[in-house]
A = this chain, B = another copy of it.
Amino acid sequence: MRILRISEVLRGDAALGSTVTVQGWVRTRRDSKAGMSFVAVHDGSCFATLQVVAKPDLANYADEVAHLTTGCSVSVTGTVVESKGKGQAVELQATEVSVLGWVEDPDTYPAAAKQHTFEYLREIAHLRPRTNTFGAVTRVRHCLAMAVHRFFDSRGFFWIHTPIITANDAEGAGAMFRVSTLDLANLPRTPDGAVDHSQDFFGREAHLTVSGQLNVETYCMAMSKVYTFGPTFRAENSNTARHLAEFWMVEPEIAFADLAADADLAEDFLKYLFRAVLDERADDLAFFAERIDPGCIERLETFVESSFERMDYTDAIEALQRSGKSFEFPVSWGADLQSEHERYLTEELVGRPVVVMNYPREIKAFYMRANDDGRTVAAMDVLAPGIGEIIGGSQREERLDVLDARLDEMGLNKDDYWWYRDLRRYGTVPHAGFGLGFERTIVYATGMANIRDVIPFPRTPRNADF
């Protein structure tokens, strides 16, 4: 018995006339007037289903095959034949159809073959991967994830697993989740009545990481080229279509590099990712273009063929002021760019991705490298047409005296950064890096409107275990 994935059958791995077995789930069954059934079977391997032609001379035709409904699992053996139907080159003339699993009460099957709202599908997250949309999202997500690793591995980067549980707040910024084994019903107390964190698992307060950047810099200063790709967390109660409490982030860090090298890496990286999706998931992209976002393929094709514009923040501010546009948020040197400003720059002014570089130091983090002008730091944002900021990065401050002055200025405790400062004391080198929100990248590639629809397990009141 030669078992093939449906993607293999459809791409022609089995010769016409050969016998193969496929295993999967029924998407639809259609009966012809001639008394045979056409069963569309999917197994997750590609967007398309395989059409199984089941004739009434099958032993279990009347008792079983004619009763198949969406969601039933089957194992089908048959002959690969040319398809007369359109949209597929081959189909399977069944010689045996085994029903592995029925659908209990087909009328109430939660993922029946009809249009469901995405809101509803989040409530049945355990079944939504069987739908066209979420099968496609899963494959695109996988394709992008593999491309992330392939890009870095082929360029001599090492994947570093930075800590998920941390006692360190990467930027003094994001709201964090506490991690603890203390018994809430019976909290240990210090003599003065405060919660005694020394009795917690790690002997002090611990949280979920908001970024692996500071940690991964330690590896950058030894291995030269490293990256993280792992879960990060923000305890911000923003229940919007753009925020997640748990998401994956990619953070490369390169030694012997300045901001220009960082921007080049970001450009190469993003183009590589979207090139991979265009090359490897044309089937799923065609679906997204048809049902979700008509422009998504063209957007990616334009993207990978563009050369990114580099623009100083100061020049960007001037361009915005000269634009004659009336923005909701005022434009002035020293203020951060808002989404409307970013979109003007990349979509209207330049018409290509833009790397805005050298931001005012007052609006950026302590670890970004001070420029000689005294008022900007070597930070960058990559803006993409249709989405705005997609990457944020910077050259890091590698000079201990400058870093220390900045920590003091911002009221940060130097002792908390003893190991980070040590890196500047011992063989420091110029280095730079950036962060890419992985889910944002999937949103960009697919046009899916809600970021909770590109993660495998959306949290909902019903799906609290996810």
A interface list, Cβ under 8 A from B: 3, 5, 7, 23-26, 43-45, 71-73, 75, 100-104, 109-111, 124-127, 129-130, 134-135, 138-139, 141-142, 145-146, 149, 153, 156, 158-168, 175, 177-182, 184-185, 187, 194-195, 201-204, 206, 208, 215, 218-219, 221-225, 230-231, 233, 235, 237, 245-246, 248, 255-256, 398, 416, 419-420, 422-430, 455-457, 459, 461, 463-466
CB distance from A369 to the nearest CB of B (A): 14
Known: A23-B256, A24-B224, A419-B126. A425 touches B104 (CB 8 A): yes
Partner of A255, one of B23, B160, B201, B222: B23
Alpha-carbon distance between A363 and B85 when the two chains are bound, in angstroms = 53
Known: A126-B218, A202-B459. A23 touches B165 (CB 8 A): no
Q: Cβ of A426: which chain B residues have Cβ within 8 Å of it?
A: 71, 101, 103-104, 109-111, 127
In the complex, are the beta carbons of A457 and B187 less than 8 A apart? no
Partner of A428, one of B101, B194, B416, B423: B101
Partner of A164, one of B146, B246, B255: B246
Q: Oligomeric state, in number of copies?
A: 2
Since A101-B429, A127-B222, A161-B248 are in contact, a sample of 17 more A-B pairs with Cβ atoms closer than 8 Å, ordered by chain A residue number, is A43-B223, A44-B223, A75-B256, A101-B427, A124-B419, A134-B222, A138-B160, A138-B219, A142-B153, A149-B149, A161-B231, A161-B455, A163-B459, A164-B231, A165-B233, A201-B235, A419-B465
Q: Cβ of A161: which chain B residues have Cβ within 8 Å of it?
A: 141, 231, 248, 455-456
Alpha-carbon distance between A130 and B226 when the two chains are bound, in angstroms = 14
Q: Cβ of A245: which chain B residues have Cβ within 8 Å of it?
A: 165, 201
In the complex, are the beta carbons of B177 and A165 less than 8 A apart? yes
In the complex, are the beta carbons of B135 and A223 less than 8 A apart? yes
Q: Cβ of A203: which chain B residues have Cβ within 8 Å of it?
A: 461, 464
CB distance from A64 to the nearest CB of B (A): 14
Partner of A222, one of B44, B175, B427: B44
Alpha-carbon distance between A195 and B187 when the two chains are bound, in angstroms = 11
Q: Cβ of A3: which chain B residues have Cβ within 8 Å of it?
A: 256
Alpha-carbon distance between A426 and B25 when the two chains are bound, in angstroms = 10
In the complex, are the beta carbons of B464 and A204 less than 8 A apart? yes
In the complex, are the beta carbons of B165 and A246 less than 8 A apart? yes
Alpha-carbon distance between A298 and B236 when the two chains are bound, in angstroms = 52
In the complex, are the beta carbons of B165 and A464 less than 8 A apart? no
**Chain B residue with minimal CB distance to A46?**
B156
Q: Cβ of A146: which chain B residues have Cβ within 8 Å of it?
A: 149, 153, 159
Known: A101-B427, A246-B164. A224 touches B129 (CB 8 A): no
Known: A149-B149, A185-B195, A466-B163. A158 touches B138 (CB 8 A): yes
In the complex, are the beta carbons of A215 and B167 less than 8 A apart? no
Q: Cβ of A139: which chain B residues have Cβ within 8 Å of it?
A: 158
**Chain B residue with minimal CB distance to A216?**
B456
Q: Cβ of A44: which chain B residues have Cβ within 8 Å of it?
A: 158, 222-225
**Chain B residue with minimal CB distance to A170?**
B465
